[in-house]
Amino acid sequence: MSQALVQLKNVKKSFGPVDVLKGVDLEVFAGKVTALVGDNGAGKSTLIKGLAGVQPYDAGEVRFDGELQELHSPRQASALGIEVVYQDLALCENLDIVQNMFLGRETLKSGTLSEAEMEAAAARALQSLSVKTVRSVRQTVSSLSGGQRQTVAIARTVLRDARLVILDEPTAALGVAQTEQVLNLVRRLADQGYGVLMISHNLYDVFKVADDIAVLYLGNMVAQLETAKTTSNEVIGYITGIATDVKEG
């Protein structure tokens, strides 16, 4: 097996007396979708915030491409190629697609915004992911559907030279057709060599798109499974703590 893009070993995080992560191990590979599942309070959000540098881990090892890293800020994570698409997408509805994709990272030429260059780059990013549902990169975000907004947020990570894309509930509140659109996009990300870590409560979506499934239970990583070699009932058993080898830390 090739070296993991991301390796977490024995990572821990506490908030006061509450131990949220209790020595978690995780591997995410380039070219694969790893689904991170678990019930509310399992520690999923804390795990990805540590990886994104938002809430640094208290202890443990983080390796990126085999190199030991200390992630103390989102800037450090982004410099490595770790990008997060949070559930709220962080898009400005009054701005168009190009402006959102380059927000805070605008391209300048002779001291002014290079609109043509940014527009071409935004179009290339969408085309690279075979996105065909967006009519124009100059559409305002307010005019886009939920699925289209998710598409723009994901394509923005491509512009930022991401190597690991973390998706927080990418299909939440989407209809059937829009969910299908986003899942196809997630699959294309992995097929193009990106590592994808996807949080989801929807096991149907997980089994449709994920290569591997990692299960958190009360701050412990209780299972890391190949999707093709497991079942939804087995995964539910780990999520709920019913599985016989689930141990509380």
Q: Kindly list the averaged pLDDT for each block of 10 residues, start to end, along the chain of length 249.
A: 90 96 97 96 95 96 95 93 89 93 84 87 89 89 91 88 93 86 92 95 95 96 96 95 58
pLDDT at residue 249, as a whole number: 40
Cβ atoms 57, 70 nearer than 8 A: no
pTM greater than 0.85 (yes/no) = yes
pLDDT at residue 111, as a whole number: 79
Q: Return the amino acid letter for 104.
A: G
pLDDT at residue 2, as a whole number: 80
Q: Is 59 helix (H, G, I), strand (E, B) or coil?
A: strand
Q: Strands 195-199, 33-37: parallel, antiparallel or unpaired by DSSP?
A: parallel
H helix intervals, the chain? 44-51, 74-80, 97-101, 115-128, 146-159, 176-191, 203-209, 232-240
pLDDT at residue 245, as a whole number: 52
- Structure tokens of 206? 């997980």
pLDDT at residue 246, as a whole number: 44
pLDDT at residue 133, as a whole number: 82
Interior CA angle at 246 toward 220 and 31, to 5°?
60
Whole-angstrom distance, CA of residue 187 vs CA of residue 194: 10
- Structure tokens of 93? 């509805």
pLDDT at residue 131, as a whole number: 86
Contacts of 169 (CB under 8 A, 6+ apart): 87, 199, 200, 201
pLDDT at residue 247, as a whole number: 44
- Structure tokens of 221? 């990583």
Whole-angstrom distance, CA of residue 233 vs CA of residue 196: 24
Q: Show the domains of the chain with their CATH numbers.
A: 6-92+162-240 (3.40.50.300)
